[in-house]
Amino acid sequence: MADMQDVNKNNAQQYDASQIQVLEGLEAVRKRPGMYIGSTSSSGLHHLVYEIVDNSIDEALAGFCTHIKVTIEEGDVIRVEDNGRGIPVDIQEQTGKSALEVVFTVLHAGGKFGGGGYKVSGGLHGVGASVVNALSEWLEVEVCKDGQRYGMKFSRGDITEHIKKLGATEKRGTTVRFKPDPEMFDDTVYDYEILHTRMREQAFLNGGLTITLRDEREGKEQGEELCYEGGIREFVSYLNNHKNPIHEDVIYLSGVKGDAVAEIALQYNDGYSETLVSFANDIHTPEGGMHETGFKTALTRVINAYGVKTNIIKGDDKVSGEDVREGISAVISVKLPEAQFEGQTKQKLGNAYIRTLVDGIVNDQLTEYFEEHPATAKVILEKAMMANRAREAARKAKESVRRKTGLESGQMPDKLQDCNERDPSLCEIYIVEGDSAAGSAIQGRDSRFQAILAMWGKMLNVEKARADKIYGNDKLYPLVLALGAGIGEEFNMDKLRYHKIIIMADADVDGSHIRTLLLTFFFRYMRPLIENGYVYSAVPPLYKLTRGKQQRVAYSDEERDRLSSEMRADNPNVKIDISRFKGLGEMDPHELWETTMDPETRTLRRITLNDAIHADQVFTVLMGEEVEPRREWIEQNARYVVNLDI
């Protein structure tokens, strides 16, 4: 692998101040940081790193960078170093200032607007470097370019040391060091795993690019060099890591149209879930867009055409898009100039011509692949046909349930105690296990806006079942009816009856099992609930502390000890009675309301989805058929277990 001293042969292409264009000045970033980085929580904190790394990735996309080093230094200082061309340091004509100064102090300034610096770029909006600077307690940048080292320093967006020469060098590239401003962020501690996930994605998407990630903080030392010569082929193999592929090869398709490039890699497994991950200019597009639409349309068309041609599909017995994507793991990566994203967060790609490009590639190359690999084509088609039969079974089961339950007339499940409010944004539903806990919850709730759904018995593990098993399931289908939004492809957020879905289970192993089964169900069949932050876990108290008529509750061992100390403050020898709640069912309605259901005093944990790929793998390992990966996971994570019920 090339090191930081490497000089790319492509440096004949000029990259200087004339290619830096200023659109507007830096305004109000510190007043409204969420507009630029999404939030000031953990996601926004890590977004700062992505913005700087994206600039280095742009250099790699342009063919000038082969190695990026990302380091978490002591004190949660971030250092990003690359061996690209180095940010220009000459005078930028519009401003009369050094281009380096402009890039870090002016919003919407960069080499991505004029068309000369970069053909394709992830950091399209040009806010990255300047926003990171504005939200950092301090930032320093060093540029190695044309045999010279240049340095510049900033504090909260203001210059503290103007650009100056630091001496001669044979190196080339840019190094940025910054410390996030604690005035701007809820927390300034970086999570190695979150950064590792992002850097791994970037290494997959840029085959041959080396990204080195290191954590140098005391007690947290670790690191990894990430480089995947196979690019997105290896990405698909990673997605299928704990699954059973039904064909050996990862199918790879690619094509070029003008300056736009598209790559697709896919492989089917014997599971029932669809894992489709898409990127545009190395930016993850979780809401899809034109590249995904083109892929889905062409995939359905090609598989149906092959089925008709080989006489496996007869007459009008076509398979749907949902059928052909059951068990697929696929990565779509497109790189294009002038990428049009929806908003700064870049959730969805809007360029219409990319749909045509991806559609044409899949149509032509996958058809050819099937002709050359009939055994693989047959096994994929048979899986789609099986999914089609299961979908038909699910439809019949659903119709049967409709007739039996009076779904058409809007009848709700017997175990649902609904609330009076009809505005979903104001409504919340508690999912409670067992009649005892449900009884206390019903009596203790505020019936204006709180609904209670009782569940009982062993719940279906949907990781091992298709949708047809859910319809008619006496544990899960009442939940589907109560929420009102459907499941799978039919899921419709607009029909959702509650915007807070709260799992209220005991704080023991059985309660954790119930939560896991419910979360598996939501992730596989109602993922938008989690993605939009509608799913919560209630935190019931663990202990009741009593001193005479004074009572307090504690939610952890640490809180128990602290409260115990507080309650005996005036008399160290006084007896404090401490009892452990065995379950929600033994609480009286008043206790349950005060500790777990009152919006003023309760604690809720919102279930978030920071990394859908990782979540998919965890659910596959923990809830799937294969025992060995689960054993390995348990052995690796056993040291983190708490509240073990033995």
Catalytic member of 137, 421, 446, 510:
510
Catalytic residue at 506?
A: yes
Cβ atoms of 489 and 545 within 8 Å: the answer is no
Check residue 286 and give left, alpha or beta (phi > 0: left; psi -120 to 50: alpha). alpha
Cβ atoms of 583 and 595 within 8 Å: the answer is no
Length in residues, the chain: 646
Placement of tokens 């929806």 in the chain:
342
Catalytic member of 137, 508, 594, 611:
508
Angstrom distance (rounded) from CA 319 to CA 305: 10
Catalytic residue at 248?
A: no
Catalytic member of 58, 59, 468, 506:
506
Q: What would the two tokens of residue 484 be?
A: 């009102």
Angstrom distance (rounded) from CA 618 to CA 629: 10
What single-letter amino acid sits at 70? V
Angstrom distance (rounded) from CA 303 to CA 316: 14
241-277: b or e for each residue (b if 16 or more CB lie within 10 Å)?
Answer: ebbebbbeebbbbebeeeebbbbbbbbbbebbbbbbb
585-601: b or e for each residue (b if 16 or more CB lie within 10 Å)?
Answer: bebeeebbbbbbbeeee
Burial class (CB in 10 A: 0-12, 13-18, 19+), 28: exposed
Q: What would the two tokens of residue 421 be?
A: 């409010």
Placement of tokens 């299961």 in the chain:
390
Cβ atoms of 266 and 329 within 8 Å: the answer is yes
Query: Strand, coil or helix: what is 520?
Result: helix
Burial class (CB in 10 A: 0-12, 13-18, 19+), 369: middle
Cβ atoms of 150 and 166 within 8 Å: the answer is yes
Angstrom distance (rounded) from CA 33 to CA 55: 20
Q: What would the two tokens of residue 11 be?
A: 């440096």
Catalytic member of 234, 433, 468, 591:
433
Q: What is the set of active-site residues?
A: 433, 506, 508, 510
